[in-house]
Amino acid sequence: MINIGLLGLGTVATGVVEVLEKNQKNIEKKVGEAIKIKKILVRDINKKRNLPYNLPLTTKPEEILEDSDIDIIVELIGGEEPALSYIKTALTNGKHVVTANKEIISKHGKILFGLAEKAGKNLLFEASVGGGIPIIRPLKECLAANEIYEIMGIVNGTTNYILTEMTERKKEFGQVLKDAQRLGYAESDPSADIDGFDAARKLAILASIGFNTRINPAEIYTEGIRNITSKDILYAKELGYVIKLLAVSRKRNGRIEASVSPVFMPIKHPLAGVNDVYNAIMVTGYPVGRVMFFGRGAGKDPTSSAVVGDIIEIARNKNNCKNVLCTCFVEKPVINIGETESRFYLRLQVEDKPGVLAKIAGIFSNYNVSIHSVVQKSAEKATAELVLITHMVKEKNMKLALDEILSYSQTLEVSNVIRVEGDV
């Protein structure tokens, strides 16, 4: 019998309880012995729970962390504290740990893998990236032969759901966010989703494994989707793109590029058709070439699939630390975003007067920003809306050009600036 101590009983943990109950017989056969949840830590023992089982709840962490009969601690509380301290105590007390906590793995992975190694225990975190998509173990194990060049993906279910609803059903941002929260996709503080931090944490984990160097989320240029308007979505469609929150990391001459931002994605790109709560991660390397992982990126059921998969993996090998722990064995610096290159979509409001477009083109030219296309979208009350797509330009040149355009007397507003991925 393998005993589990569950920390938390929210969206994901509820799914874990259900899967272990519903698929019990099958799981027992796969593991060779039964898996039992011995105790569950919650904040409020009297809270009404949507589970038909009689559950062994406690509000005392020590009843789980200090119980010598418990083999595996499954942390599903979220956030940094007290979850981090609980994981440290669990490893120090000689327990295996499973977590879905990307914040903790991305920020504190090094120390936790050190503790796991010292204790000879496993620390698995498949659910921390991509919900139900298997990506951590495939990267660490199945793709271990490769030199990885690029990892690119849609890794936040909440924002992908919001962008899809805004694009396909013309819904408003605020309403769709409420739906995402009701469906259990969003983090307890949804700004982690909306402002891109959740995706940056996931990219930090993927890039650290893929490029074998520790990348902290704070080093990743991060921009969320708050500024995406229905107008940008409409113009994207007219130009043959969809808007996606893209996490991308590439190896460039021994250094690492890493960013999370909304992008214009050509509709023919494999990631452009990834909609709703679905996530997809595309990995490019030698010798495998390009592989893509796709599935539901958030929610109770897909995420519990990944968590229970980790529990089974540990249960099958509980007496030896079989799994690969830290794979960060080189140091590669992250390139400052200003030094990277991208294409851009720009939406500007300017005075509708002769010479204004020429002046703006001149400013771009002074900073080596080459324009691919310009469309004047409307001319109302002496105002023109300009929509431009650039060729590949250095980010810092783009910023300098935009600063000068903003200070030009005939510019009324720079309404949006969005990167463009793939071929124009």
Residue ranges that bind ligand HSE, judged by CB under 6 A:
131, 156-158, 185-187, 193, 198, 297-298
CB of 231 to ligand NAP, least distance (A): 30
Cα 248 to the center of its chain, rounded Å: 10
In one letter, which amino acid is 325? L
Catalytic, 202? Answer yes
Residues 46-65 that bind ligand NAP (CB under 6 A): 47
Considering the complex, state which of residue 59 and residue 227 has its C-beta at the smaller distance from ligand NAP: 59
Q: Considering 38, 107, 202, 332, which one is annotated as catalytic?
A: 202
Contact pick of 17, 27, 64, 77 for ligand NAP (by CB under 6 A)? 77
Nearest approach, Cβ of 220 to ligand NAP (angstroms)? 17
Element (H, E) at 37: strand 35-41
Residue 129 CB-half CA count within 13 A: 30
Give 130 or 285: the residue with its C-beta nearer to ligand HSE.
130
Which parts of 3-22 interact with ligand NAP (CB under 6 A)?
8-13
At residue 133, φ and ψ (nearest 5 deg) are -80, 130
- The listed partner (ligand HSE, ligand NAP, none) that binds 193, CB under 5 to 8 Å by sort, is ligand HSE
Task: CB nearer to ligand NAP: give 155 or 246.
Answer: 155
In angstroms, what is the minimal distance from the CB of 172 to ligand NAP? Answer: 23
CA torsion through residues 239, 242, 243, 245, sign: negative
Burial 157-176 (b: 16+ CB within 10 A, else e): bbbbbbbbbbbeeeeebeeb
> What 3-state DSSP class applies to 377?
strand
Q: Measured between alpha carbons, how far apart are the two ends of the chain, in Å?
A: 58
Q: Which of 76, 162, 258, 281 binds ligand NAP (CB under 6 A)?
A: 76
- Region for residue 124 given its phi and psi (left: phi exceeds 0; alpha: psi -120 to 50; beta: otherwise): beta
- Residues annotated as catalytic are 202
Q: Which residues would be at the binding site for ligand NAP (CB under 6 A)?
A: 8-13, 41-44, 47, 76-78, 82, 100-102, 127, 131, 184-185, 187-188, 298-299, 303
